[in-house]
Amino acid sequence: MKNKTREGEAQPSRCPDNSAFKQQRLPAWKPQLTIASVLSSFFLTGAFCLTVGVCLVLSANSVREIQIDYSDKCSDCSKLRENSSNWNKECHCSINFTLKEDILGDVFMYYGLQNFYQNHRRYMMSRSNTQLLGRNVNMQRSYCAPFSTYRNGTPMAPCGAIANSIFNDTIDLFYNRNSSVIQVPLLKTGNSWWTDKNVKFRNPESYNLSSAFAGTARPPYWQKPVYLLDEEDERNNGYVNDDFIIWMRVSAFATFRNLYRRVQRVRHFAEGLPAGNYTFQISYNFPVTRFKGRKHVILSTVVWSGGSNPFLGIAYLVSGTAAILTGFVITGIHLKLRKKKTYFQKQ
């Protein structure tokens, strides 16, 4: 039907077309909830969550892990690092420990930090993703301040508070076998995500890295420029350095761990780490005393569900228990109401 104006001209109607879709005449499925379907869904969901939760907890408990807190064991270095003017002075400490049993399989080394809040909003925003892609960036418009440029206008590379506070302790592992000391071979590449290494982080294009970063300066707390992060492997330098990439993926909690190295399975360590006496040689650079933090070094294996973290398994157990308890509560209410209904019908 068409409407007519005062002049007699026909105007198109605003009514929707007479179709099943526009007139809402499509067939629909309306589930009829019965007590049997509701209770079966609760009990089946609870049983599934409990099964998965038990598997995850047992898997997490099977992880072999050694964790050593070296905050106090390197107390002399810790006192030295309290004064920021000593940033260029080296400090080393050794920590001895014993493995009573072999750690078989792939062994991963992590560093852990406690009471370090990477989830602070201003800290998380203090970076330039454009710069990390190897592109030119206007520092005045970036979120890197106050770690964007020096007073003379020289831009920092990389800029921002996250990059400036990178974890820079150096940790080496030695195996004391009989009367000889063997350095455990550690892999420092291949530890970051493929997407980070090949998509999110790229170096500026140039014939060499030193010229690519010409006209920039290292962040204030760094001991070396970004193009010398790994002097042994040129492919692990600049913005694509694995340690740098892993640090730039900030943690959501104040206590966290990051992957540092992997044990290379060769020679004496082909099957993993054999039982015996070991020593951590640590070059202490990262200060934690001022914010009452702690530092750990962790040796751990992994399983199909990941590392030694039972949180997901516990979450499944809690969810499954809650679903089953809810099912029992609904069953009790149903039985009680059914008895009342039967009683009144007899009356």
Residue 298: φ, ψ to 5°: -125, 135
What average pLDDT does this structure show over 129-141?
Answer: 87
pLDDT digits (tens, 9 = 90+) for 262-289: 999 998 899 999 999 999 999 999 989 8
* Band of pLDDT at residue 178, cut at 50, 70 and 90: confident
| Closest among 287, 289, 311, 307 to 299, alpha carbons compared | 307
Instruction: Say how far residue 111 (Cα) sits from the centre of its chain.
Output: 13
For residue 37, give Cα distances in angstroms to 41, 49, 335: 6, 18, 16
- The whole-number pLDDT of residue 9 equals 63
- How far apart are the C-alpha atoms of 282 and 280, rounded to whole Å? 6
- Residue 5: per-residue pLDDT: 52
Assess whether pLDDT exceeds 70 at residue 52.
yes
pLDDT, mean of residues 12-23: 82
DSSP conformation letters of 114-182: ES--TT-HHHHH---HHHHTT----GGGSS-TTSSB-TTSPBBSS-SHHHHT----EEEEEEEETTEEE
What is the number of other CB atoms lying within 10 angstroms of the CB of residue 70? 22
Task: Read off the pLDDT of residues 323-345 as tens digits, 9 standing for 90 and up.
Answer: 999 999 999 998 888 877 675 55
| Domain edges within the chain | 41-63+305-321, 68-301
Rounded distance between C-alpha atoms, residue 11 and residue 310, angstroms: 68
In percent, how much of the chain has pLDDT > 90?
Answer: 61
Sign of CA dihedral 250, 252, 254, 260: negative
Q: Is the pLDDT of residue 4 over 60?
A: no
